[in-house]
Structure formats: C-alpha cells, structure tokens
Structure 1
Amino acid sequence: MGRRFSKRKNAPPRKERDPNATYTEVKKENAQLEEYYKAQNIMSEEEWPIFWEHLKVTLPTTFRITGTRSHAVEIRDTVKNAFVPHLSNISVDGVVANPPRPLAWYPDELGWHFDVPRTLLKKSPEYAKFHQFLVAETEVGNISRQEAVSMIPPLLLDIQPQHWVMDMCAAPGSKTAQIIEMVHANDQYKAVPAGLILANDSDYRRSHMLIHQTKRLQSPCLMVTNHDASMMPSLKLAPNKAGESVPFEFDRVLADVPCSGDATLRKNPMVWNNWTHGGAMGLHQTQINILQRGVQMLKVGGRIVYSTCSFNPMENEAVVAEMLNRANGTLELVDVSNELPQLKRRPGLSAWKMFTKEGQIVDKLEDVPTDAKGRYYPSMWAPKNAGELHLERCLRVYPHLQDTGGFFVAVFKKTAPFVVPNPNRPITEKPASSSEASSSTAEVEEEVKEEVKEEVKEETKEESEDTTTAGDKHKLDSPAVSEGSEVKKPRMSRAERFGAPGPKEEPFLFLDASNPDVELFSRFYGLDEDFPKDQFLVRSEGEKNKTIYFVSEAVKSILKSEDIHRLKVVNTGVRTFIRQDSNSPAECTFRVHNEGIAMMRQFVSNARVMAVQLKEVITLLQSPYPKISEFPEAIQERLTALPTGCCIFEFDPALEENKDQPNPRWEGQGLTGFVKGKLVFPVWKAQVSFNMLLNKQERRSLAMRLGVDCVDSPHVVEGGAKGTAAKKAAEETAGSADVSEDVSAEDSPMVEADEEGDAAEETA
C-alpha cells in the first residue's frame, strides 16, 4: 500500500523540486565537536587522527540473518555458497570491492558486512544478483538491514528461552527481533516458549513500525506497548495455570535510550552541521529516568543493558554513575570483557569535562551562572566516587576499530531490591557493598512491596479522580478558589501519564475452549488434546470472529490482569486462523494463516496435511489457480479426495526423488536450490482448483531460492526475455482461471486481498 498524505485546509501548494537542482555535499568538519571530544580524552593523541578521519568515511552496509536457528543457517549458507565465491576480484571502472564477509564477533556468522559502491551494484551482474537477493529476503523478513554496533546490546543481555524480556525503547525493532530469536532459540517440539518479550515505544506511529519489523518472526510471546518508558505502569498479573501469581518483573531489560546520536556521523552526515554543546543536556535526565524505571522492573539477579549511539560522557558514564549511586549497592556493573571476545572496544571513562551550552568548561554546578542553573543537574559532573564505581567496565565502540559506527554499552546486574531514593531518607555517602545489601534483602523487599502497593493505589485513585473531576475545578474564577490561594495544576489523565496519544485500541477478548468457532477448527484440523485452546483471542466484539490470534501463557497472564487497563497494548499474538467466506460448501470456513502455520503444524493432524514434491510446489508458484488436472497423475486422486477448504502442503527436500540433479539456475546446487529444510504453507482447495496462500514477497523469495519463475514476477536472477515470457504465460493462466466457474474470489482468496487485510489490521 502506498503512503498516505493529508493536506491541511488552506495549505500553500507543495513546492515542486527542481530536477536540475544540485545538492551541496555536507562539509564534514565541526571545530566545536572536535574541541569537545579532544577535551574529554576519549583516546590517546596518537589514535585521535585515525579516529577523526574515519568519522568522515561513509558507513558500510551490514545486515543480520534472522529467523529460527535452522532457517537462519539455511539463508547463511546460501550467502556463503551461492554468492560470496562469485564476488571476489570483480572490477568495474577500475574499482575493486571486497566480497561480503561475516562480522568476526557475531555468533554463528549470522551478521554480515560489505562495502560496495553503488556504481558496482548497478554495473556488475554478480553484485546486482546479490543485491536483488538481499532485497527479496529482506521483504519477507529473512534478512534485516541493521548497523553492526546496534547488534551488540541484545547479545550482552544473555537471554535464555524462559526469560521475560523488556525492550523499553524498541522502535524500529531490529534489537527486538534479535531478542525474539533468542527466546525462541531452543524451540521444543509441541511446546510454546515460556519466555515473554515486551517491546515498548513512546511514539504510536513508531510502534507500528515495530510491529511490521517483528511480525514475520511469528512469536506468540511478543507484546507491543505504547508508553513513556520512564513511566511504565505497575500491574498485578493474573495467576498462571499452576496457580502462581507471577510479578510484572523482567529477567532482562534493554534500555537503548533516546540520545543525541553523535556517534552516527558516518550514517547521518547532517550531525556535522547540527551538533552543539547543549545537544545532550536536554536528554540527560530523561535517560536517567528511563534507566531507573528499568531497574525498578528488573528482577533481583537480572541483567539490564543501557546503551546509546553517542560518544558523549554526559549521556553515557554520567548516567551510569548516577544510577549506581542511586542504587546504593543494589546494582553493579558487570565485567563483560570475556563476552564477544573478538569485538574490539575501549573502557569507559572515569573522568570527563562539563561544558556549558556556550562551550565554556565548568568544574562544578556552583560555577554555572545563576540564571542558567535550572538547565543543569549535579549528575552531569563526574561524582567524587567515580573511581570506585568500575566505570571502566562500560564498553566504548569507536568506528576506526572495526569499521563500524560508534556505540556505548553498560551492563548491570541487580543484586538486591532497589528502592527509589527519597530526599527524606538518609543516604550513605558510599554505596553499600553487595554483602551488606544482601543482609537486608528481606527488609528491603518488604519496603519495595509496600512502595509498589502505594504506587498502584495512588494511580487507581488518580484515575478515579480523572473521571469525576469537574471541568472548572481549577479555573481562576471558580468560587472554590479563594483570592490569593495557590492554584494547582489539574492532574494528568492516565493516558497522559502512562500512554502516548493515539487511536483507542480494540480490546483483547479470549475465546473459551468450548467456543463454537474454536471447536470447529480444532475438530477440522485435528488439534492435539494437549494444545492450549484457551489461549486464542480476537480483537473485535462482533458476533462473527474473523481473525483468531494465539498468545503464549505469559502474554495471557498479562492480558487477563485486572490492571490491564493501565497497559496500552498495541499488538500481540500470532494470526493463526482467518475466516474465509466461500460460495462452495466447506466443512470449515477457517483457513490457517501463514504467520502461524509453522507453529500450528506441530499440533495439526496429518489428515489435513498433504506431502508434495518439487513439481507440485512449482505448479502452485507458477499458476494462481492450478486445477487438479495440472498436477501429476500420481497425486490427483489424493487432491480430489480432499474436502473443500484449507489444507497444509508439506515439502521435504530430503525426500525429493531427483534432488541430486543440478539446478539449472544455481550453479553447484541440487534440484531444490537453496531450500534444504522442510517447507509448510497453507493452500485453499476449491472444487477443482487450488491457491497457494502466500503473499507476493513470500512467493518471490521461495521461487528465487528454488531457482524457478513465479506467477507474480519473472525470476529476478535470470529475468530478460525468458522471464518476461514466463510472466506473460502466468498472466494468461490467471486470466483463464478468473473466468473459471468453480473458482471465485471467495472460493480461493487472492493474495492481494490478504495483504490489504493485513495492512488494515496493522493500522486499525
């Protein structure tokens, strides 16, 4: 779907861009920036020139291979075996580029790096093929374009499949995708992971960008929320199936906070022009607040990672030091020098200079002019005990070390319950040791519980008052306000305090296992008796359930909480079943959605599963409505016997009869191309024809890896006259199928309609 624009009333006409206009290249110099960081002593004088010149070089392209372990390895081997051997020593106009190579420090060679000029991509057939492959796999979510240094924080979280993980500032979602993959890393047969991923962003529009980025990972353990990260609400969770009341706390928290972004100079050249001394000052307190809230919601023994794409110690070490001092011994910096051993990094700073917005160095807050002190905080200066906080355990990643962007990472472990500092509570000058903190754990836990109870109580009270307060309660001319008395500001609404503005979300309504629709598709597809049928939900209060979602037990415990109104949930669940109206009689009008098919296949009876070979897959790819007569005779009888409705086709390359024959389009590969693992996809069976229920991007990706043409487009590798002829033939086939009496839009749902429905649900 195209981008939508809205024109303001009486708005001036849009200025047309001059096609002959030239754009001045950004001058990559900034004397204030250079002076500032030289004063911070972020590196030696000998290393500085190398670092500074590296900032002026355009950032290379990096990407990460996504998905489950087996699927990601298949894509990785495609890159290594199909493309890399053919991309060495290629010269165009005298330019020779290095072939793509894996990032040395990223596990299992799933992170990749290549630096190729655009002219080479356009003029070299080999690089053009590789680029087309990347685009096709990115469209279906098998590859994620992501800056290399952005991949570091999730790796240092040390996530296990059973962990509850919160990504506090998640959009656009690349790091969230990494977290999802880690929670699903050890997926067991017929088991839904016990872990949870809560991805939050304060911007409603960006939260939908996050949904788009993560939905293809098909995780029932994911929730997307829309809140100010520094004010994530407290909840009382519903008891789980074991009767346990799980607290709304997390084993792992990622706080990749908003920052000035001056470490992105190689990617965002405009930073050279826009950087100022005051750029980080307005974010310093926000960053502390976000980190503090993350620590509050972290379980004792859990790990929280704080990160920025900034070099500025005011956003980095100053925030870390303030949080450690506030924690008063309940938080410690983790030494991760042995993790990601091939990642080159520099230690954090224990001393830094504080500049005013005018560029003057000030040694302490008292030296700031009185009229400007409101914009400065004591935490911006290095604390007296900075040397005792082990700030050297922080990671500083500089661009010249491994040809990346810049990044800052700090890893914390929560050693005891954390209580928010109270000005009326005496605070020790020196943070307590871990042993001292542990000795009073029971007392502090009780204090924390009481604090949370009071917080929830106060929030509930405010919500009640928000709905009952008269509109003129705080007006100056109200008789309730006497002359000379202080006029208080009205209380913020719950939406203002906890949720960013945005459209009202539809409720999440769970279906009982005895619901007629649940019983219908459970019986039709033969779902296992042990399958948790009480974890299906819908997002419409209408009588006719159209889209059925499935969520994990952990997600259900949150959605069933009596305090769920505090949490603004934008999206959750995997689409598993879609109601499909049909003119032909069908025993079950629910079809399996491709998002949930990988999970549901484990629980579906073999009665609705049809084992097929390569020929049948190609037939479905190359014709929108292939008739039964177009399939091989050996399978026609079984296809005819299938009742009308949705079924699952399963293709196992290992069982292909002629798998060792050379693939005509992929040199060095067998007949099934780069498809090595088992494939399952939904198919709708009409009276005498079939339709593969995949969208265009998924069809193209599968066709490319198999090395065949596709009905939606010519094969991207071969193309040319042969590809055009194939496309024309496919269109003619589609035209004849459209007028077929037994195949209607309702009988065999077209992919385009499914895509529009997906988009509508995302923007609802």
Structure 2
Amino acid sequence: IDMNNAKFERYYKTQGIVPEDEWDTLMQSLRAPLPTTFRMAGSRSIAHTLNTIIKDNLIPGLEGVEFDGEIAQKPEQIPWYPEGLAWQFNVSKRVLRKSPEFKKFHNFLVYETEVGNISRQEAVSMIPPLFLDVQPDDIVPDMCAAPGSKTAQLLESLHISSAHPPGLLVSNDSDSKRCHLLIHQSARLPSPSLIVTNLDASSFPNIQIERGLTPHIKPTGPGRPAGELATLQFSKILCDVPCSGDGTLRKNLGIWKSWNTGNANGLHGLQLRILERAMRMLAPGGRIVYSTCSLNPVENEAVIASALNSTRGFELVDVSTQLPSLKRRAGLSAWYPQASSFSDSSDLQAETSYSEWKTKNTSRNKRDILLPSMFAPDNASSLNLERCMRFLPHLQDTGGFFVAVLQHSNERLVHSQATPAKRPSELAEDQEAPHKRPRLDLEAEETATETHLSKVEDLSQNNADDVTEETAREGVTVPGFKEPPFTFLPSTHPQVTATIARLKLSPEFPSSNLFMHAPMVEDDSVQTKSARTMYLANDIVKSLLTKNDYVRLRIVSAGAKILARQEGSILTKGQFRILDDGMDAILPYIDPSSIIAGTISDLRVLMEQYNPQFSAFEGSSRTVIEDCGNLEGLPPLVLAYLFYCSLHHPLILPLWKGETSITLMVDKKSKSALSLRLFGEDITFAGRRNLKQDSIPEELPQVTES
C-alpha cells in the first residue's frame, strides 16, 4: 500500500499540528507498524494475578530471545498506565508462530483474552476513561460505546472496591448489532450497575428515576418526597464520538488512499450535537471527556470551541499534571478548515473566519460547504484550548488521538443567545452533502469494528430507528426494536424463594432486585427458553427499568447475569444454579456452609474430565464430595473453595453435584485459561483435542477501538 497522500501532508502542515522540524519524524511514525498493546481487565485481584504471572513467569523467558539472527523485543509495561497493568510489544507474526518462547507467551494471551481477563486495546484508546476518573457512586453514560473497550474500563473503575457499586453506567451505541459487542465486552465484569442502550447519542432522551437514590437529579424545588420521579442527571459523561479516524493510519492503511477533508467536515455537526446533548445532561460540578481518534481540528478544537460558546457554565480543565509520564501536546487555538474539493494541486485556503471564507467562496457545490462552527471563533484565545490534549504517534509510538476534559460549574446551564444551538433536524440539513462514510480498502474493512470509522456507517444506517424525546412524548411506536421486557420477580415468587432457600443465601440478598429478560412465566414448572436466566440489578438500575418505557429508551441489556436454570434438573422449583460470571455478585450472600474446601488434585480431576465420578477423587476429598450439601435426598449445588498461593487470592468456582458425579460449571475457554495459569499447560479435554489439531489462533483475539 502506498503510504503517501499529498493532500494529507499539505493540510496538516498548514494546521501546524507539529513544529516543522518534527514533521518528518511524525510521518515516519505514521508509516511504521503499530505495536501490539493490551491491558489487564476484569476484577483487580485477577488483574494483579495475571500481571504477576507475566512479570515473574513469562517475561524472563523472553529475555534475549534470538530469531533469524536478531534479538526479539520483549514486552514492556506502558509507563503511564496506572499500576503497571498495560503492556506493549512489537514483534512480527512470524516470531509469534515460530519462536517457542514467544509462542508460549502468545498462547497465554490468547486464552486470557478470550475469557476477558486481558483486553487487546490500542494504548491511546485507554486514555479517555483515565481522565474521566469514575468512582463507584458516579452516574455515567458512555455515549458512543461500541465495541466496548472503554466501557469495560469504566466498569472496572465503578467496581474498584465492590461487586455492588451504588452507581450506574449506561453504555450506548446507535447500531443494534454493535450493541451486542457491548454486551459481550461487559460480560467480562458482570455488573448490577450496567444498562446497555441502542440510541442516537445526539438526541439521547431524558431518564426518570426515583428521588432519594442519587443526588444527581434536576432540581425542582425543596420538600419533594423520596420516591417521587425526577429527571436523572449524569455526574460524568464519556463522549468518544464517531470520527474520520485518520489517527489510526498505522493500522487502517486504506485511509492513506481515501483521506480527504470531507470525511471530517461531514462529521463535525454530529460530533457537536453529541457534545452539546451531553452538556445538557450533565449535573453541576460534573465532568465530560470528549475524544476522537482524529488529528483534524475541525473534529476536535472546533467542536470544543463551538460547544463552549453555545452553552454557558463549562470550562476546559487543566489536567497537565495528571499521568505525568504520558506525553502530549497542547490543543490548537488557530486552524484553517478546507472544503472537500481541496486537492494537493489547488490553492489551500487560509481564511481564519467563516465570513471571510464565505466572501471568497461562491461555489454552490454542497461538497464545498463549510459551517461557521468549523472555524476558530474570535474568542478562541480566551477558551483555554491549549488545555486540550493531542497524542501524536511519534511521541510514544502510538496512534493519534485527541482528548478534552470539560467541567460543569455550579451556575445554571443556559444556551447562549448569540450562538443558539441548532436542533438536530436543522444540523442534519447542513450535513446532507459534505460527507459520506470514508471508503476503506478491503484490509481496513476487515478491521472496521476496531475504529470509529465503522461508527459512521452505523449511524447512517440506523437513523430511521433513532429515538427522540419528541417521538417518546407522542407515544410513537419505535420501529425495529424487538427486545423482550425486563420483568422483576416479586420476592415472594415461588421460583425466587425456592432458589434462595436452596442456595442458602443470606436475608440481606436483594431478592426484590432479581429480574428476567422475558415476559412473566405463569407456570413455574415450565422450562421456557426465555426464562432460563435470572439477572440482578442495583437500586438505580431497577428504578430506571421500572419507571421508564424500556422501548422508548431502547434498552437491550441490563444488570448482571447471575443464575441459570440447570438443564435436565429433576427439581420442579429452585433448579437455578450460580453462573461462574455471576460469582462475584452473589458471593457476599452465600452461606459459608455451602462452600467446601478443595485441593489442587481435585481441580485437576475436574479440569481433565467433564463429569468425573465420585470415585475419581481420592481420600478425604471423595468423602467430602459425597456427603456435602444433601438436601431432602436431592442433588445439591455446592461451591468449591480452592486456595493457591501462586494465584495470590482464593479461587471460588461453581460446581453441580449429580447422583454419582460432579461437574465444574465453567465454560471450556475459561477452563483452558485457568489451566494455563495454574499448570502451565492446557490439561482440559478440549485443550488436549486442540493441541492435536494445532488450532491455537495465530493472532491475538481482539474487539478493539482506536
């Protein structure tokens, strides 16, 4: 692929994104392969355990490895990522396939990535959630979240100290198919505090919630009783908006050929609408992080400046002292938009204002239209745009990225009369022609789920299904939305009481917050497909689900999946078992008598065989398993408590006991990952079969975004 584009170079040289003496270094970095980066995901205990295994067991074996006469670069920790939980390496696929040392390291990463303990994510993509600084009691929407790596980071922050945080994360994307990526990503850390929605972020509807659950509601006067409904406001908001994506040139090589200014110009209006909508939803004192994977000031500083001028009560935050090891450049205070007809041979326009540009340009070609908000405003120097952050590839071997942190003061939020915010319909008319989705070549298309470029297509395809506050008020049926309802079960429901009794859950267990993502099942003995799973919500999520029309909010997923019906159970009630993914959420309420101690030998048996007979276990372990948890002669569900010093934390896994056998209720990929972690090899039945077939993927699995 030809990694040259004269228009690209001429445009960005004019914008002055780097000093002249750094230009060649920047271009050299843009043409170099992007290093592989990953971070530890999920719970903090697992994250630190894996980090220790990598540092102490795997990295020493990669020291000084020679391949084809050269020393292969060993993985290194990313210096600015908190707690050293992110890594970077840059070796060829051939080294990963042929070098025994790197192949072992690669296999470890593959399995841990597949089960969600490691997230393949570009380094600069990790930055926005860090500056949002989410705490367990925050109320946060991720406005344009798919495929979900940043949502996963936000969830981890929400759960930093508890499996049951009081806060809320609304993970949203405009495309229904990409919402399933969000659900998959968030399954890494099942959360009672999570909701996934399928909405147009630029017209995100108001949400009603009961008073007393959070202080983040719109004020309506003193003396209002708890339980009365009020409009929810958000304490922090992430706006990682759709963008032209030219900061991803190092991995999306098709952009070299397709790049033109129309890609950014056509998205400017949408980006501005999303940010302004976020500003209207933010609580006083709250914080917004706006980010793109674009180098273009039309998508970056121009959006920030226009939003600051249209909505009072906001300012850019100086975060220059945070993450001091993270290299960055200040935002621009002057830039020069260009119409999409701009070419490498034409005169580059350098008008500094919209009025100056309009006087000189009389073209009626819609592709040549520029908007006033694309230009630097007269008060640009007073907006502190230098507090925006530009992350450039040559600074620390990354992709290109832009991040701005905005703070809402305590004064009342109002729109400026001088530059009123346009309604979505008005801005949509402005944006009819300047931009169509950037064309990518086949290689780039294959990785489109990793970048914001694919979000452009998602938005254009899904406009017919977008929900607005107007349609919600008028009661218009939302087309194309077929999710089943979220049905909360009464705490006295026979299925609930039987399950709680059988699992010996404590009285503190929030049984009234259990729900099914299905219509109410009338006959408790009927095992219907739609009623196989129980979910757990916290109080805010329950209020949101029960006090709003889930169709209007296009809610596709909520809460933590914690219980599943055991297929083939001989029970008529209470036949739900604890899911491995839901263990953290339900563990605080489990009676200690339901937990039995196991040994490393027991775990090996459970991993090597699918349904080992009691006789497969030795000595006291067999006696404990045969005698544990008998309840009225029926086979019980028990939990094995396994402690290994090598993991630095107790390991608690769900089991299902039959009449003569016992089963480890963990999916095969998680078993394989755990086996590699504990035994240094995959001893599972599936793993032994894969070894014969040599079916380990050559590339690290990824659902990433730039």
Whether TM exceeds 0.5 here: the answer is: yes
Alpha-carbon spacing, 1:386–1:523, altered in 2? closer, same or farther (3 Å)? same
Query: Residue 312 of structure 1: which of 285, 293, 296 is its match?
Result: 296
CA contact (8 A) 1:620 1:626 kept: yes
**Residues of 1 paired with 2:41 and 2:96: CA distance?**
23
**2:286 matches 1:332:** no
SS of residue in 2 equivalent to 1:150:
helix
Residues 1:628 and 2:614 are matched in the alignment: yes
Give, as a single letter, the amino acid of the residue that structure 2 aligns with 1:294. Answer: A
From the CA coordinates, give the structure whose radius of gyration is larger. Answer: 1
Is 2:71 aligned against 1:134?
Answer: no
Partner of 2:273: 289
* CA distance in 1: counterparts of 2:280 and 2:361, whole angstroms: 32
Pick the aligned partner of 1:411 from 405, 416, 420.
405
TM-superposed deviation, 1:593: 1.2
One-letter identity of the residue aligned with 1:691: T
2:238 aligned with 1:254:
yes
Residue 164 of structure 1: aligned partner: 139
1:206 maps to 2:164: no
* Offset from partner CA, 1:437-462 (integer Å, 9 cap, x none): xxxxxxxxxxxxxxxxxx99855542
Distance between the aligned counterparts of 2:189 and 2:420, measured in 1?
Answer: 47
> Deviation at 1:563?
4.5
Distance 1:625 1:78, change over 3 A: same
Q: In 1, distance between residues paired with 2:481 and 2:573?
A: 38
- SS of residue matched to 1:48: helix
Relative distance call for 1:63 and 1:42 in structure 2 (3 A) is same
- Map 1:331-480; keep pairs closer than 5 Å: 331-359=314-342, 360-361=348-349, 363=351, 364-365=353-354, 366=358, 367-372=360-365, 375-415=369-409, 416-421=411-416, 459-463=471-475, 466=476
Look up the match of 2:563.
Answer: 577
| Paired residue type of 2:516 | V
Considering Cα pairs closer than 8 Å and 6+ residues apart, tell me whether 1 or 2 has the greater RCO.
Answer: 2
Structure 2 residue corresponding to 1:108, chosen from 58, 83, 101: 83
What letter corresponds to residue 614 of structure 1 in structure 2?
Answer: I
Which residue of structure 2 aligns with residue 60 of structure 1? 35
Aligned position for 1:732: none
In 2, Cα distance between equivalents of 1:420 and 1:716: 64
Instruction: Say which is worse superposed, 635-644 or 252-261, in terms of deviation.
Output: 635-644
Letter in 1 for 2:474: E
CA distance in 2, matches of 1:617, 1:282: 57
Would the aligned equivalents of 1:582 and 1:589 in 2 still touch at CA under 8 Å? no
**What letter is aligned with 1:197?**
L
The residue aligned with 1:532 is 510
Closer/same/farther in 2, CA of residues 78 and 692 from structure 1, 3 Å limit: same
| 1:44 alignment partner, one of 19, 29, 42 | 19
Question: 1:562 Cα deviation (Å)?
Answer: 4.0
The worse-fitting range, judged by mean Cα deviation, of 304-313 and 574-583 is 574-583
**How far has the Cα of 1:553 moved from its partner?**
1.1
Against the structure 1 CA distance between its residues 419 and 633, is the aligned structure 2 distance closer, same or farther, given a 3 Å change threshold? same
Extract unaligned runs of 5+ from structure 2. 214-225, 343-347, 423-466, 525-530, 696-706
Equivalent residue letter for 2:339: T
The residue number in structure 1 matching 2:639 is 648
In structure 2, the CA distance between the partners of 1:354 and 1:588, relative to structure 1 (3 Å rule), is: closer
Are the aligned partners of 1:239 and 1:246 in contact in 2 as well (CA < 8 Å)?
yes
Q: 1:378 to 1:140 in 2, by over 3 A?
A: same
**Which position in structure 2 is the counterpart of 1:264?**
248
The residue aligned with 1:617 is 603
User: What amino acid is the match of 1:611?
Assistant: A
In 1, the alpha carbon distance for the partners of 2:481 and 2:293 equals 31
TM-score between both structures, scaled by the size of structure 1: 0.77
Tell me which residue corresponds to 2:686. Answer: 713
CA contact (8 A) 1:700 1:712 kept: no
Aligned partner (choices 584, 599, 604) of residue 590 of structure 2: 604
Cα contact 1:356–1:362 (8 A) shared by 2: no
Aligned to 2:460: none
> For residue 487 of structure 2, what is the aligned residue in structure 1?
509
Q: Is the 8 A contact 2:536 2:559 kept in 1?
A: yes
2:64 is paired with a residue whose SS is: coil
How is 1:658-669 mapped onto 2 (pairs within 5 angstroms)?
A: none
Identical aligned pairs, as a percentage?
41
Q: Which residue of structure 2 aligns with residue 71 of structure 1?
A: 46
TM-fit CA distance, 1:218? 1.2
Q: Distance in 2 between matches of 1:157 and 1:93?
A: 44
| TM-score normalised by structure 2 residue count | 0.83
Q: Is the 8 A contact 1:588 1:645 kept in 2?
A: no
Deviation at residue 424 of structure 1 after TM alignment: 10
**How many residues are matched?**
613
Distance 1:556 1:426, change over 3 A: closer
Provide closer, same or farther for how the CA distance between residues 81 and 529 of structure 1 changes in structure 2, counting only shifts above 3 A. Answer: same
Matches within 5 A, 1:729-748: none
Q: Which runs of 4+ in 1 moved over 6 A?
A: 423-427
Given the superposition, is the C-alpha separation of residues 240 and 581 from structure 1 closer, same or farther in structure 2, using an over 3 Å criterion? farther
User: d(CA) in 2 for partners of 1:426 and 1:414?
Assistant: 17
CA RMSD in angstroms, aligned pairs only: 2.4
8 Å CA contact 2:339, 2:369 repeated in 1 = no
CA change 1:716–1:310 in 2 (3 A) is farther
Q: Is the 8 A contact 2:503 2:637 kept in 1?
A: no
Aligned CA distance change for structure 1 residues 460 and 51 (closer, same or farther; 3 Å): closer
8 A contact 2:675–2:684 mirrored in 1: no
Distance in 2, matches of 1:425 and 1:581, equals 59
Question: In structure 2, how many angstroms separate the alpha carbons of the residues matched to 1:210 and 1:458?
Answer: 27
Tell me what 2:427 maps to: none
